[in-house]
Chain A
Amino acid sequence: MATDVRMASESNMPPQKRQRSVWDEVLRNRVAYLYLLPAFIIMGIVTFYPLFYQLWMSFTDFGIRSLNPNSATYLPPTIVGFDNYIRILGFKGGVPQIANFSFLNTLSFNLFWTFSNVVIHVTLGIFIAVILNQPGVWGRNIYRAIYVLPMVIPALVIATVWKNIFDPRFGPVNQMLTSIVGSWNPAVAANGIGIRWFEEVQYPITGIPLPLSYFAMLITNIWLGWPFMTIVATGALQSIPKDMYEASSLDGASWWDDLRYITLPLLRPAMVPAAMYGLITTFNLFHIIYFMSGGGPLRRTEILVTTAYRLVNEQRLYGIAAAFAVYIFLILLVMTLATNRVTKATESYDA
Chain B
Amino acid sequence: MRDAVVRRAPGADKEERRLPVREQILTQIFLIIVAFTVLFPILWIVSLSFDNIERPSEFRLVPQEFTVSAYQQVFTQPTSNPTPFWRLLLNQLMLAGGVAFASVMVGVFAAYAFSRLKFPGRGGFMLGIIAVLLLPQIATIAPLYIILNGISPQLRGSFLGVGIAMTSGALPFAIWNLKGYLDTIPKDLEEAARIDGASPNQIFFQIVLPLAVPALAVTAFLGFLSGWTEFALSWQFLDINNPNNLTLAMALYTMTGQYASEVPWSRFAAMSLLIAAPVAIVYLSLQRYIVGGLTVGGVK
Residues of A within 8 A of B (CB): 25, 29, 31-33, 35-36, 38-40, 42-43, 46-51, 53-54, 57, 62, 67-69, 128, 131-140, 143, 146-157, 160-165, 167, 169-170, 172, 175-176, 179, 223, 227-228, 231-232, 235-236, 239, 241-244, 247, 269-274, 277, 284, 286-287, 291, 294, 305, 308-309, 311-313, 318, 321-322, 324-325, 328-329, 332-333, 336, 347, 350
Contacts and interface: CB of A to CB of B under 8 A. Distances in A.
B299 A152 contact: no
Nearest to A230: B34
Given A31-B117, A294-B257, A147 B276 contact: no
A48 B132 contact: yes
Contacts of A247: 4
Interface in B73-125: 106-107, 109-110, 112-113, 117-120, 122, 125
Given A35-B117, A42-B171, A176-B59, A50 B143 contact: yes
Most chain-B CB neighbours within 10 Å: which of A50, A163, A239? A50
A308 B138 contact: yes
The DSSP consensus for interface residues of chain B is: helix
Contacts of B18: 135-136
Contact of B143 (A54, A162, A350): A54
Given A148-B287, A170-B57, A236-B299, A50 B144 contact: yes
Contacts of B28: 137-139
Contacts of B213: none
Interface string B6-37: 01100000111111000110011011001101
Given A47-B171, A147-B34, A32 B117 contact: yes
B198 interface: no
A270 B134 contact: no
Contact of A325 (B142, B229, B272, B280): B142
B40 to A, nearest CB: 8
Interface range, B side: 35 or more
A7 to B, nearest CB: 16
Contact of B252 (A137, A157, A227, A244): A157
13 contacts: A31-B117, A32-B113, A36-B109, A131-B31, A152-B284, A157-B276, A169-B55, A274-B294, A286-B138, A308-B139, A309-B138, A312-B145, A333-B131
Given A157-B275, A291-B256, A51 B298 contact: no
B155 to A, nearest CB: 13
Contact of B17 (A67, A136, A152, A329): A136
Interface stretch (B64-72, B161-169, B185-193, B238-246): B161-169
